[in-house]
A and B are shown apart, each in its own frame.
Chain A
């Protein structure tokens, strides 16, 4: 179960990062929402405080990897 929650949490953080890559404010809000759901997955594994503590650096790492792999979204 831990593995499933962690995988789901990471996938949601990837989605959140991809949404943040979009320039529109709607996608940024959605990104925040997805981040909150991802945090809930981490909380399910590690508990309230540790879950948030772990979700934040994981989001930072995934954001960094997204930036490295995909770069900035091209503007139309």
Chain B
């Protein structure tokens, strides 16, 4: 490739990285955590789910039938059941929905009943707009991080467009980076960790870029698709094929068309359907059910399954009498290879297609994706502040470094704080008040840490304190759980809880160790510099 083209690619790579580096770090870091948020961390965060293996299908059937008798007739047309698996709500939720509302609501209205999955006691009752119920469901630290990754809590469509756009920039950076660093094999293992920090960062950026290029590319592409599909691609498809009518397009391809209600009574055999689904896919988990026209001759039941041998989530369709109809993708029963490809984009992005091992691989590679823009930005700053004719003054260099530590380190710290806070909330604050804590705690601690960057403090010390506090926040999880909770690492009788508690302790210890190493390295650097000056 001509050197002039390479130079252009390098410029593109640099500027795309510089402009989006901090945002990209934010999205990728929270994405790496979000991989483990559902169901693993969500189960950890909700004691109701600690001892739970599965909910008996007879009990689910009994509850649906009983509560159906308590709601007006039109609310039986659509019943959504969310099983407490760690993917949806933490409680067994039965939601009776009327699409056309009722005398009090013109929009979709719902009656919702939530039960403790351990003893099936009614915990929460709701009547009102369906949208309000979904928006104000109980959240927890993992779900909060997961939602933050999806749209940065900016709401839709702005948040989705932004994260989708960041996916595109990641893709561009990955491709241009591969062209720039063409000596891939030569640089595969070049990591000189005993050299000064600039060299270490430079080498780290290259090896993370080379080894992770395939992963970064896939995450960039799938992220861009997930962010932009509903905002840009769906309207575009509607414009091309349905004269701009999106509702028509959705109605055409919906996986769950509305049945015609006959008003002839026929009991919907939910128990048999659940048993049959488990027999057909014993390794998969039923995460929710949608029952249409319950107890009508034309009743239809849809079960969403995740896991097992299927790569993506699947939708099982049953008739009301318990007869199995078909298995299809979550997009519906649409033929053609394109839908298969689309179906694969979700598990490829979330890493949820083959159990916890793959999720761990995805989380670790995701962390490398997060560190890539950060190291790139550090290289860019170092390059401009060194040499005989630096374009960046020492003061500006320090300010930039503090800004990076405040924004990116602050995010890591704010995220780490959420987990001990989750333990405190679980044990000291009533459940219905939890939602009010996560947002302020996360954003105010992050903001406070960002504002600290304005002060003229030594950025090495700033980084060290950030890492130490993050480590302490992580390490606090296990002792807090031991002191306050009845279900902790040594009593939960749940391997997942034990592993998560101990992992927090280990990660916290690692952060503190690295912060100490950083100080030692800095001191060594200062001593070496002083020795050089004496020799000169």
Contact = CB atoms under 8 A, between A and B. Distances in A.
A56 interface: yes
B188 A20 contact: yes
A68 B205 CA distance: 11
Interface in B482-527: none
A39 B353 CA distance: 17
Contacts of A72: 189-192
Assign chain A's interface to a size class: 20 to 34
Interface of A: 6, 20-21, 46-47, 50, 54, 56-58, 60-61, 63-64, 66-68, 70-73
A50 B353 contact: yes
B134 interface: no
Contacts of B362: 57
Contact of A64 (B190, B192, B207, B358): B207
Interface string B181-192: 000000011111
Interface of chain A, main secondary structure: helix
B365 interface: yes
Given A67-B211, A71-B193, A61 B188 contact: no
A65 B364 CA distance: 10
Nearest to A70: B189
Given A54-B361, A63-B188, 13 more contacts: A20-B189, A56-B214, A57-B214, A57-B215, A57-B358, A57-B365, A60-B212, A67-B190, A68-B207, A70-B189, A71-B189, A71-B193, A73-B189
Nearest to A46: B354
Contact of B361 (A20, A57, A67, A68): A57
Nearest to B194: A71
B208 interface: yes
Interface in B184-235: 188-193, 204, 207-208, 211-212, 214-215
Interface of B: 188-193, 204, 207-208, 211-212, 214-215, 309, 311, 353-354, 357-358, 361-362, 364-365, 368
Nearest to A49: B311
Contacts of A57: 214-215, 358, 361-362, 365
Tell me which of B189, B353, B365 has the highest count of chain A C-beta atoms within 10 A of its own C-beta. B189
12 contacts: A20-B188, A50-B353, A54-B357, A56-B214, A57-B214, A57-B365, A60-B365, A61-B364, A64-B368, A67-B190, A72-B189, A72-B192
A21 B362 CA distance: 24
A67 B191 contact: yes
Contacts of A70: 189
Given A60-B365, A61-B361, A63-B211, A50 B188 contact: no
Contacts of B358: 54, 57
A20 B189 CA distance: 9
A54 B323 CA distance: 36
B360 to A, nearest CB: 9
A58 B361 contact: yes
Contacts of A66: 189
Tell me which of A20, A56, A58, A70 has the highest count of chain B C-beta atoms within 10 A of its own C-beta. A58
Contacts of B191: 67-68, 71-72
A67 B189 CA distance: 5
A6 B357 contact: yes
A47 B310 CA distance: 11
Contact of A60 (B189, B204, B215, B354): B215
A64 B214 contact: no
B214 A60 contact: yes
What 9 A-B pairs have minimum CB-CB distances, sorted nearest first? A64-B211, A72-B189, A71-B191, A67-B207, A67-B189, A63-B211, A72-B190, A67-B191, A60-B211
